[in-house]
Structure 1
Amino acid sequence: MEYILFIVYLLIFCWLLTKVRFVKNSGLSNKYILLLFGAKIFAGLAIGWISIHIYSTGNDYWDVNREGWSEYQLLWSDPKEYFSNLFTSNYQQGYGGLFDSFQSFWNDLRNNIIIKMLSVCDIFSRGNYYINSLFFNFVGFLGHVAFYKIFIQIYRKQQLAVIVCCFLLPSMLYFTSGVQKDNIVFTTLGFLLYAVYQSLNKNRWTAKRLAIIFIAFIMLFLIRSYVLINLLPALTIWILVSKYKWPPLKSFIIGYIITGVLFFNVNAIVNSIDPLKTVTNKQAAFFTLPIAATQIKLDTLYPNFKSFAFNAPQAFNHLLLRPYPTELPAKSLLPINIELIIFQLCFILFLLFKRKAIPEEKDAFIIFGIFFSMTMFLFIGYIMPNLGSIVRYRSVYLPFLMAPVICRINWEKIARLIKIKK
């Protein structure tokens, strides 16, 4: 029966995607839409199957699915508790610990929201993980479309490269197809940035777009608050650059210098706000977890400028260069090693065979994406001592870095050179 349900829902979702105006207006043909959605669904099935058969204990995907089924049963046995427990704190500190990584209402809320979503899906799926994956990835696919609709306006003649960067980067596709926070964060970012991009492009902030932006802010705050915090400076600078026609690169550099000064000195102005302590506490919380197979050395971070500056090269190294080609602490990292080598080769090709620069007004979003993703990489590199988690967390932000590289490579020139040599 579950197989039949899966096929029925899959066919319904495939039909819906060819009818949804947001997808139809992307310029993608129905053939491309269905093939790319098929890749998304396959990745969702793969991450579920691998999680249960290879990582049989302590995997996030199946754990939340089981919790979702428990919530579904609670809906029928105790509706009052079902509708109230999402807002109930069972901790002594009550609703404190907004940025804590463990033992706080807000930390639990990040998973509890997903569990509630799953409990609704369970009405139709009867608790089947793979059917729930269909529901999550139907919505998640729209996030990919949103990114595509932004980048295709910047690189109009590079459709295939844009498709690869927005739909098919291996680790991005894999990790954003699971029934977990990465899927939701990626999708939310897609909708948020598309709404802002369209508003700036058309010089009109409609009520619909503002509503999307507001809902996206709330969702990011509840699911991964640090993403929203890191996003806000880049988003503000991007909007100001587009509105006042400031030079993008210079404006982002100045804006981030000002942001850095505030970051390191805000505690001296407002004693209750201490971002340095928040970041170091997050790192300390990850240090308390059991040592994983992909554990890496991470220097202890202290709440002062010197420690943050000293640890920055290590943080960027972990996010941009690791796992190294010869580094394989677990066999599951082999595809990531290969992917990273391919990305590095693409960067070399970009330096050797770069197309002409895009117009400055379109460059603002590209520079925004680079600054935002590098900020996220720095933050993740500061707190995360686990390669497995690092590759998962960074996968969400890969389009911001790889699209400007892959779409600016002169592939036609490379093909001609190869043909001449033959």
Structure 2
Amino acid sequence: MELKDLLLTPIYLLLFYMIAYQVRPKATNKLTRKYFIPALTLKLGGAIALGLIYQFYYGGGDTFNYYFHSKLVTQAFYDDPTVGLQLFLSNGEFNPATIKYTSPMYWYHSPTEFIIVKIGALFGVIGFNSYTIIAIFFALVSFTGMWAMYLTFNKLYPHLHKHFAIACFFMPSVFFWGSGFMKDSITMGALGWLFYGFYAAFIEKKSFIKSLIITLLAAWLVYNVKVYVLLSFLPPALFWIFSENNKRIKNAAVRNLLKPVFIGLGLVFAYFGATKLTEGDDKYDVDKIGERTKINSEYLTSSMVATGSAYNIGTFDGSIGSMLAVAPQAVVVSLFRPFLWEVRNPIMLLSAVEAMIFIYLTVFLFYKTGFGKSFKLISTTPILTFSFIFSLVLAFAVGTNSGNFGTLVRYKIPLMPFYLSALYIMRYYFVTKKQNIKPKTSLPGTRRPATV
């Protein structure tokens, strides 16, 4: 960080807050209004804090690598807008006009990293190439998507507005790792908009064209940044659509007869989407994903053994069968670890506290409700089905890919709001049943969520 960061940051923050106060009446209601500014403040603070910690605690890292690259792209715009535009639209190809800027870039041929560089450069052009300004722009992108996610959950269970606010905005890992100049901020923002657009287009069936455009744009961005998050989203999303359509069949006998058909179609479409989305991709092709996962896990584990943050979920040889064998350990490590006795630094402590909350709520709810009744509730409540399947699939993916708690805490943040929100919804059903109160699942005049 430089002197210009200190000079420009207060000005931009003041501008952003002025805009936020103008937008708040349109983006909130009487239940959600009080969370808007605090949630935004945490996102902005998280972006600044992440930069400071990487600079003074870690002594560097990915966020400053992105900044190094984005400065080169921004400089190209300053030197010659035509060359800058060529570089911004490039996809790793050789271009004599841009070689001056691309030759120092070791991420120029890495599409998933270079798209973050491009976004950073875009913000750099309007932010005077200041790291902190770029970071808070990333925080704003993340915030808009997370607010859209929050509003979607509130459409279903508005009486849980406080709990959903905790799940979406006030978990330390989510607002810290999901706010700065990193892939994770763009992923969280795009995922939130994807969830919002998907629900509006295919479940509510309102403003279909607008919602579909939001869904496709968000899906494109997630695909280009972290495709495995999109692959984790597809199966439960498609299953949700089929479940909703199955529910609308009035004849119970026909509905029960067609339910396995809808489930089968959902699985077929999910598999087709997963295989075709990654076909030919050396990193994420389904045929190669087991091998890549093994290599990635071994590298990250070996690089973190000395710091004490590595974990071991068992031996797997890269085959799909061996990955499924370690799936339970991968899910457990993603959702419920690190344990408190595994903590090696303050950042791991925050993650461990969150994991303890997940353990407590999961065990408490499943025990109090009963495992059979819990699974029945999950299987008959589409939002619970979606949230748990998405969380478990992503937990498996990141648990097998990481190999150490340092990267795991970043990789798993997309699942955390969904998993915690699902637990809060289960708790709501448990409390209302215990008190013999009919659950309230929507505000007057809003659509009531269906159960299968």
Interval of TM-score (by shorter of Structure 1 and Structure 2): 0.7 to 0.9
Q: Distance in 2 between matches of 1:123 and 1:274?
A: 35
Contact 1:264 1:304 in 2 (8 A): no
Q: Distance in 2 between matches of 1:64 and 1:4?
A: 22
Among 368, 372, 376, the residue aligned to 2:390: 372
Q: Distance in 2 between matches of 1:338 and 1:21?
A: 32
1:216 aligns with 2:234: no
- Partner of 1:207, secondary structure, is helix
Aligned to 1:318: 333
1:33 aligns with 2:36: yes
Aligned to 2:14: 11
Among 270, 292, 298, the residue aligned to 1:281: 292
Residue pairs, 1:20-419, within 5 angstroms: 20=23, 24-25=27-28, 27-28=30-31, 30-57=33-60, 59-86=61-88, 87-89=90-92, 108-204=110-206, 206-245=208-247, 275-288=286-299, 291-292=303-304, 293=307, 294-351=309-366, 363-409=381-427
Quick one: which amino acid aligns to residue 294 of structure 2?
A: Q
Q: CA deviation at 1:392?
A: 1.1
Q: Percent identity at matched positions? A: 23
Contact 2:123 2:137 in 1 (8 A): yes
Q: 1:260 to 1:378 in 2, by over 3 A?
A: farther
**What's the TM-score once normalised by structure 1's chain length?**
0.81
Q: 28-37 vs 389-398, which deviates more?
A: 28-37
Q: Distance in 2 between matches of 1:122 and 1:4?
A: 15
Q: Distance in 2 between matches of 1:48 and 1:81?
A: 29
Contact 2:331 2:395 in 1 (8 A): yes
Deviations 1:355-403 (A, max 9, x none): 9999999921221121012111111122221211111111121111111
Q: 1:360 to 1:276 in 2, by over 3 A?
A: closer
Stretches of structure 2 that go unaligned for 5 or more consecutive residues are 95-105, 248-254, 433-452
Q: Distance in 1 between matches of 2:190 and 2:236?
A: 16
Q: CA deviation at 1:219?
A: 0.8
Contact 2:24 2:33 in 1 (8 A): no
Q: CA RMSD in A?
A: 3.9
Q: Distance in 2 between matches of 1:173 and 1:187?
A: 11
Deviations 1:111-152 (A, max 9, x none): 211212222222332222222222111222111211111111
Q: 1:139 to 1:256 in 2, by over 3 A?
A: same
Q: CA deviation at 1:68?
A: 1.4
Stretches of structure 1 that go unaligned for 5 or more consecutive residues are 92-102, 415-422
Q: Distance in 2 between matches of 1:181 and 1:139?
A: 12
Q: Distance in 1 between matches of 2:227 and 2:274?
A: 19
Contact 1:235 1:368 in 2 (8 A): yes
Q: Distance in 1 between matches of 2:120 and 2:274?
A: 40
Q: Distance in 1 between matches of 2:57 and 2:195?
A: 36
Q: Distance in 1 between matches of 2:246 and 2:431?
A: 37
Quick one: which amino acid aligns to residue 381 of structure 1?
A: G
Q: Distance in 1 between matches of 2:383 and 2:120?
A: 34
Quick one: which amino acid aligns to residue 217 of structure 1?
A: A
- Partner of 1:284, secondary structure, is helix
Q: 1:261 to 1:206 in 2, by over 3 A?
A: closer
Quick one: which amino acid aligns to residue 420 of structure 2?
A: M
Aligned length: 400
Q: 1:265 to 1:189 in 2, by over 3 A?
A: closer
Q: Distance in 2 between matches of 1:407 and 1:329?
A: 33
Q: CA deviation at 1:169?
A: 1.6
Q: Distance in 2 between matches of 1:79 and 1:138?
A: 26
Contact 1:318 1:381 in 2 (8 A): yes
Aligned to 1:96: none
Q: Distance in 1 between matches of 2:238 and 2:5?
A: 47
Contact 1:68 1:115 in 2 (8 A): yes
**What's the TM-score once normalised by structure 2's chain length?**
0.76
Contact 2:291 2:319 in 1 (8 A): no
Q: 1:359 to 1:380 in 2, by over 3 A?
A: closer
Aligned to 1:419: none
Q: Distance in 2 between matches of 1:305 and 1:68?
A: 38
Q: 1:367 to 1:321 in 2, by over 3 A?
A: same
Q: 1:319 to 1:105 in 2, by over 3 A?
A: same
Q: CA deviation at 1:184?
A: 0.9
Q: CA deviation at 1:63?
A: 1.7
Contact 2:362 2:423 in 1 (8 A): yes
